[in-house]
Structure 1
Amino acid sequence: MSKADRKQFCCVLLAFILALIYPFASSANSDGDFSGRPISSVAVVLDGGAQENSTYRDAVLRAFSTYPGSHFDQTRSDLMVSRIRRLKFVDNASYTLQSGVNGDVEITLNVALTKEAKPLAESAIGLFVDPSGKDFPVLYADARSVLKVKLENKTMFFSNTNAFFGRPEVLTAGNPLADAPSGRGTNNWLESSVETGVYGLSSVSDKISIYGGASYIASGSWGNELFTDRSRTYVHVEDAYLGAMGSNTTSQGGVRQISLTYGRKAFQVDNGMILRLSSANGGERAALQSNPRNAAAQLALVQFLYDNYKLEIFRLDPDELKETDSATVINGINLEGLVAPRARVGAMLLKVPKSTFSYYTDRATYSRSGLRLADIRLSLEPPSSGSGVYARGEFARQTNSNFSMDARAAYIEAGYQFSDVQWNPALSYRYSRFSGDNPDTTKFERWDPLFAGGGGDEWVQGLNEYKVVQTSNVVAHRFMARLRPTQRWELTPQFWVFRADTLNNLGGAQALSILSSKDLGQEINLTARYVSSANLIFVYSAAYTRPGEAIRSSLSNNYKNWLSASALAIMRF
């Protein structure tokens, strides 16, 4: 790192640290958007821990009807908490969120008990019952039904210095979204979105419920964004779905549940290595980095839950940008479950019956249509208390019914949680490999990333490097720590080393189609999260990236190191 680079890095780091101090002064801050993340635990605290009643606890969990292994959905959780509040023995209820060492979500339900049981006839609340508005955003809630308004704002400030290593004209060539990309110097922009909608759930009987939701998102970007300097706004439907759920619990606390969902709704599998981004952002939709849109254009999902096992059968049509719409449809089946107290397994099969997305070689062009994928996942979850080892891994293989294909992806991660050390550090290392195509074989071997994604601790591998390399033909080494200075704060520093799997990189950035080296670069990331409440979330991130020899040579060694920083606020009502 040159003297000028060090000076620039120190200036931005100082600004970043000052931004971290601001939340304490304003009482506003957060730990990142947990939406879509796997849930690792659901705990119930009665009267702040002063009470312990297994009957009450089980009734609260049944009303919440969300279990470890499922994915966190803010709106659904709010609806279920409204159901908990209507229980006869409950005076009030809320929940808090915390990230686990694997980046999963830990939910704690905080329940205040009544001194006397509430008569059901007097239990209804909401704006329709009491026009004063004290129950807003609940419109109506009683012992059987909940109707609630959603109002959510995401606002992000983002800054790039020497984006695309100062050579956007080279590294964004051929990108249909890049009409005026950021480059040398510093470019800043602001993006914001507001989502509003109505969601409801009603019990048809003691065992059957129906649910649904509909919302709109208005989003906008102002300033010199990563790919364009056009300020713009966009309004469109986000959620629009209906569903039905049948559930039962055994006398031993076992869970039996089946649900059917259809419409526009977000969907992902596990931590998102294959399916995470049900909707695209950026382009005419604006809000490229804050990613407010998550709903697929169409999702048909049947889900079975049997104690600790979950089976999903689905048809997914992601909501892609019109500039890059591949008309991809995915049919799949996913099975996962807890086979031992800390051991979780999963497996998935996918088929793509239609798509216009293309694969390129120096001999032919192939279509994604006919793609088949088989996936297996294993994890050793962190101990619920105390220090200990945790690990997870995944292996997937892609073939195609129309031509010879053998693409592979895998990762393995291992870490250790120190519960008896200040700041409760968790240290981990992850190795991941997404295959590239070897032109000397007759098979096509480049991994198709499909709709992978997520945060910087999921499958955005490097906050800057990902924008150039993404998740194909790449081998990544990630060294990461999770530090918790207080109950609400979390710091996540990362160090990345990126290498190419093969020198043939056709299908990636045009300027990097043939690599002179497998060295793609290194990156340092720091993310700070603070959780004020489930409805107030802030995230601060910074990344410093040095390009590897493969990228430097493609730029004729005329480059600058890339520095970015962002501040994101998420507010829900």
Structure 2
Amino acid sequence: MERFTRRNTLPTLIGLGLAGLMSAGSAQAIELYSDEDTTLTGNFLAVYGHFNSRKNYDGTAGGSTWREGFIKYGLSGTQGIGPFGSLYGTANLVSSATWGDGDAAGFTDGSERTTKFDEAFVGWKSGDLFPVLGKDGVDLSWGRQIITLGDGFIINDDGLNLGKGPADGDLNRGGAYYLAARHAFDKTVALRLGGKEGLHGSLLWFESDNHAQANTEMAAATLEYTAAPGTLGLTWIHGLNVDERYASDFQRQRDGMNIYSLRGAGNAGIENAHFSFEYARQNKNAGDENAWYLEGGYTFADLPWSPDLTYRYSRYSEGWDSMFTGLNRGFGTWFQGEVAANYSGPFNSNTGIHHVGLKVKPLENLTLGALFFDFKTLDTRAALNLDGRELDVYAEWAVNEHLIITPLVGLYKPRKDQDTGGNQFGGNGSNLYSQVIVAVPF
């Protein structure tokens, strides 16, 4: 999880981008006190979005116009304890809301308002206490915090924020569905060993209090090796429990489920290139499922505006449980398509997806991007046919270090509509979708 100080530069903010701010659940920090052993910072991040969709995906006619917002505020601190390393902690509240019609999928109705703790955790880093493990080679933390495994393909955070629309409001988490105001798991214990270079790994236990995720409880372990060409990693996840009050038949399979994955990311020694992959398998009572992706890209650093071109293919088998995936490296990971991933589906299950992305930087504080997705439903016999294509065009403009503006326009064309096996209401014509998001970090 990224942390900021007021001394961060504008290029750092642009490098992370608004999507990174939202996915990390980060708040920039204002230094309140600092000496040789102690730091105390105030955290603040405000995000507001205005959204419009010409089509709906909840069986209602017309389109939807709505607004979302949240403010994240709190404190973080560190305290050195001499030769025994250091203590650290964070406590952040989040106030969130949705106004207007509610989103195009009916997950919110526009009346959601909530203030709750998101992050509230403490931890200890070992400093030089265990030289064989390197600086801070032991990092132990517990409480409400974000847990991310690898690239977030399986576990990114607890960022699903439904409102009062589904299940008579029983899944309501307080609004700001698209902005995903809350990211932290309710209860966690995380032990990370070996730092971030060479051989390192982690042991984790985490439990959600998110009713839409059936309050799932899981244990996990990772083993990674990081060198200059990149990182190779293994992940194991075991489902410990779900809350029967909220679990669907599909989610009940998480109790006792085992997930295994092999993943990698880096440049493979090729300057300006970037590659990543992951293959994961779920063993559950209903049968084995798998999901995988391959991605490659290249930044043409010597050309004007330094264009970055990326291609990815991802495939999720018919009964794949998308778990706690989420927005990780920016638009398109792992919410693929702003309309498809957030409102219409597919929701990272029973689908194969081709993706092409292009980014350019005409100015130091301005990034322009275009994202194309082609969705193919694997099995339509007992599921909706969610074949379709989507094109999203966006800009990320850091006006200054305390203001980021991100407009986006999407064009989504499903193959089927609600009357012919799909779920778009009012025909299978193209849906024009638009949003503008304003972030104010301090």
Aligned to 1:220: 97
CA distance in structure 2 between the aligned counterparts of 1:557 and 1:158, rounded to whole angstroms: 19
Q: 1:248 aligns with which of 125, 128, 142?
A: 128
Deviation of 1:474 (Å) = 0.6
> Structure 1 residues 505 and 318, CA, compared in 2 at 3 Å: closer, same or farther?
farther
Q: 2:184 aligns with which of 290, 295, 298?
A: 295
Deviation of 1:232 (Å) = 3.1
Deviation of 1:192 (Å) = 1.7
Aligned to 1:9: none
CA distance in structure 1 between the aligned counterparts of 2:198 and 2:400, rounded to whole angstroms: 28
Asked whether the equivalents of residues 371 and 392 of structure 2 are also in contact (C-alpha less than 8 Å), the reply is yes
Aligned to 2:275: 391
Deviation of 1:504 (Å) = 3.6
Task: Answer 1 or 2: which has greater helix percent.
Answer: 1
Aligned to 1:571: 440
Deviation of 1:543 (Å) = 1.1
Correspondence 1:100-249 to 2 at 5 A = 137-164=30-57, 168-169=58-59, 183-185=61-63, 187-226=64-103, 227=106, 228-248=108-128
> Structure 1 residues 349 and 154, CA, compared in 2 at 3 Å: closer, same or farther?
same
Normalised by the length of structure 1, the TM-score is: 0.66
- Cα distance per residue 1:360-391 (max 9 Å; x no partner): 5xxxx96321110000112232879x6x4332
Aligned to 1:338: 226
**Which amino acid letter does the alignment assign opposite residue 373 of structure 1?**
I
Aligned to 1:543: 410
Aligned to 2:260: 374
- Cα distance per residue 1:276-329 (max 9 Å; x no partner): 132432314011111121111111101113434431111111231x4x351211
| Structure 1 unpaired stretches of 5+ | 1-71, 82-92, 106-135, 170-180, 437-445, 507-511
| Structure 2 unpaired stretches of 5+ | 22-28, 164-171
Asked whether the equivalents of residues 520 and 551 of structure 1 are also in contact (C-alpha less than 8 Å), the reply is no
> Structure 1 residues 224 and 431, CA, compared in 2 at 3 Å: closer, same or farther?
same
Deviation of 1:551 (Å) = 6.3
- Cα distance per residue 1:460-487 (max 9 Å; x no partner): 0111112221100010000111111112
Deviation of 1:261 (Å) = 0.6
Task: Answer 1 or 2: which has greater strand percent.
Answer: 2
Q: SS of the residue aligned with 2:127? A: strand
> Structure 1 residues 392 and 552, CA, compared in 2 at 3 Å: closer, same or farther?
farther
Asked whether the equivalents of residues 85 and 136 of structure 2 are also in contact (C-alpha less than 8 Å), the reply is no
Identity of aligned pairs, percent?
Answer: 22
Asked whether the equivalents of residues 159 and 565 of structure 1 are also in contact (C-alpha less than 8 Å), the reply is yes
Q: 1:311 aligns with which of 201, 204, 207?
A: 201
Asked whether the equivalents of residues 279 and 297 of structure 1 are also in contact (C-alpha less than 8 Å), the reply is no
**Which amino acid letter does the alignment assign opposite residue 222 of structure 1?**
W
Asked whether the equivalents of residues 382 and 417 of structure 1 are also in contact (C-alpha less than 8 Å), the reply is no
Q: SS of the residue aligned with 2:258? A: strand
CA distance in structure 1 between the aligned counterparts of 2:321 and 2:434, rounded to whole angstroms: 29
> Structure 1 residues 563 and 263, CA, compared in 2 at 3 Å: closer, same or farther?
same
> What is the aligned length?
410
**Which amino acid letter does the alignment assign opposite residue 160 of structure 1?**
S
Q: 2:395 aligns with which of 516, 528, 536?
A: 528
CA distance in structure 1 between the aligned counterparts of 2:400 and 2:269, rounded to whole angstroms: 25
RMSD: 2.9
> Structure 1 residues 210 and 217, CA, compared in 2 at 3 Å: closer, same or farther?
same
More displaced stretch, 469-478 vs 301-310: 301-310
CA distance in structure 2 between the aligned counterparts of 1:415 and 1:315, rounded to whole angstroms: 34
